[in-house]
């Protein structure tokens, strides 16, 4: 890691890999026309990683769409030479660009990153931002997928040869996650108490302080065994407390607690701050209003200027690590949740947690199945 950071401090490129996908990366603050040319010769689309706060302050949030939290932009007034692209990126990074100066779509792809980087979401954009930040720069990275000379997406073997030929350091996301987990702790158990419940028996109630706020964790029995039953449940005031029929959240919460009680052991992590898939209570109610006019749950988020799902599970992963858990049976229908926890090193098996659709929430569940890939058995 020290050698890689030294390279970036000099403004050099590094290669960041996620399995077989490999990306050239450099600090956005050091971007030059020469670097743009190098990227254009060896890579596909050029990307710029920005945190959501930066995207929002620039007014770019309204242009984000469902395809992986990316938007493609160009400057309105300039030709798109290497010099122009470098200058354009610098103006975005320095917040000296007005929204009226930006053309959509374009050839520079802006990708949103999570505040806590790979410890919140283990993606390429977060990894590039993290290593740039570790090198002393602002967390904005310019990066692009490495391509072979015949125009194919480069695999890990090609990336390693390319790195050797060009004296470029290479790092895998897993190594970056491991490094940050060893050197940083983003969760702190503040308290533990006994919590008897009316319907689900007695739990140990653990309170964690995290950058996302205070998180409640309910633990039953010995959870140091293999294949621990786990539910990571996003806060839903309307569903969990008021029993709204618009979603299946409340019923999923009840089902998870019943399953843990029957099992005699398990963990429920109640993720506060993830209301409405991360957009907040007021915005969720605004999404409900749009749904009353025929917009589905996915498109409603997009119309409000948010990605369809802003949640991430790095905090939950660190809580599970703090509890000594290594392999889990995850109560979920969400494939993204499974994939993300696996990237943090957990062995994950899925346990279905479906509830009977109602006339009110059927369209909501269909949208989650059809547009977000959730594992749901809904009859056509």
Strands 46-51 and 102-113: parallel
CA dist., res. 83 & res. 71, Å (int) = 21
- pLDDT computed for residue 64 by the predictor: 63
User: Does residue 369 have a known ligand-binding role?
Assistant: no
83, 137: one domain = yes
How far is residue 298's CA from residue 292's CA, in Å, rounded to a whole number? 14
| CATH number of the domain enclosing 269 | 3.40.50.10990
Q: What is the pLDDT of residue 65?
A: 52
In this predicted structure, what is the pLDDT of residue 170?
Answer: 95
| Claim to verify: residue 151 and residue 35 sit in the same structural domain | yes
Q: Looking at the structure, tell me whether residues 142 and 222 fall in a common domain.
A: no
Per-residue confidence (pLDDT) for residue 70, from 0 to 100: 63
How is residue 51 written in tokens?
Answer: 């945190």
Domain that holds residue 343: 188-274+311-372
| 235 is an annotated ligand-binding site residue | yes
Taking 70 as the pLDDT cut, the residues of the chain under it are 64-70, 78-79, 379-380
> Of 182, 215, 244, which marks where a domain is finished?
182
Q: What is the pLDDT of residue 212?
A: 78
Answer yes or no: do 156 and 193 share one domain: no
Residue 304 lies in a domain: no
Round to whole Å and give the CA distance between 8 and 362. 50
**Pair 298, 371: CB distance under 8 Å:** yes
128: annotated binding-site residue? no
Give the model's pLDDT for residue 72.
Answer: 76
Give me the active site residues, please: 309, 311
Cβ count near 340 (within 10 Å): 23
Q: Is 247 annotated as contributing to ligand binding?
A: yes
Whether residues 10 and 148 fall in one domain: yes
Domain end call among 182, 205, 233: 182
Q: Which one of 158, 182, 206 terminates a domain?
A: 182
Residue 47 and residue 137 in one domain: yes
Does residue 340 share a domain with residue 195? Answer: yes
| 139 shares a domain with 123 | yes
Q: Are both 60 and 154 inside the same structural domain?
A: yes
pLDDT value of residue 68: 46
């Amino acid at each position: 890691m020290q050698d890689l950071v030294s390279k970036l401090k000099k403004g050099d490129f590094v290669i960041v890999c996620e399995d077989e996908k490999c990306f050239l990366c450099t600090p956005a603050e050091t971007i030059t026309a020469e670097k743009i040319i190098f990227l254009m010769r060896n890579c596909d689309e050029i990307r710029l990683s920005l945190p959501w706060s930066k995207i929002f302050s620039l007014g770019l949030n309204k242009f984000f769409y469902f395809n992986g939290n990316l938007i493609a932009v160009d400057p309105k007034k300039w030709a798109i030479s290497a010099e122009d692209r470098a200058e354009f990126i610098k103006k975005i990074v320095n917040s000296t660009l007005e929204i009226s100066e930006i053309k959509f779509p374009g050839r520079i792809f802006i990708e949103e990153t999570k505040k806590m980087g790979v410890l919140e979401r283990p993606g390429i954009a977060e990894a590039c931002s993290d290593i740039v930040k570790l090198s002393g720069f602002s967390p904005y990275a310019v990066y692009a997928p490495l391509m072979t000379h015949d125009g194919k997406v480069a695999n890990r073997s090609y990336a390693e040869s390319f790195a050797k030929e060009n004296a470029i350091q290479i790092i895998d996301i897993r190594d970056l996650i491991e490094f940050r987990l060893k050197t940083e702790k983003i969760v702190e158990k503040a308290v533990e108490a006994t919590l008897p419940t009316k319907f689900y028996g007695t739990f140990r109630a653990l309170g964690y302080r995290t950058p996302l706020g205070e998180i409640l964790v309910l633990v039953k029995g010995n959870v140091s065994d293999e294949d621990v039953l786990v539910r990571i449940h996003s806060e839903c005031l309307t569903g969990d407390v008021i029993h709204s029929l618009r979603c299946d959240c409340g019923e999923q919460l009840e089902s998870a607690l019943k399953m843990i009680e029957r099992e005699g052991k398990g963990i429920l992590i109640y993720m506060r701050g993830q209301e409405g898939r991360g957009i907040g209570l007021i915005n969720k109610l605004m999404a409900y209003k749009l749904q009353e006019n025929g917009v589905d749950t996915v498109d409603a988020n997009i119309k409000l200027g948010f990605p369809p799902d802003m949640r991430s599970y790095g905090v939950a992963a660190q809580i599970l690590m703090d509890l000594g858990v290594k392999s889990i049976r995850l109560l979920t229908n969400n494939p993204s949740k499974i994939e993300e926890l696996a990237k943090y090193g957990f062995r994950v098996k899925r346990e279905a947690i479906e509830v009977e659709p109602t006339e009110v929430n059927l369209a909501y569940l269909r949208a989650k199945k059809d547009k977000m890939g959730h594992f749901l058995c809904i009859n056509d």
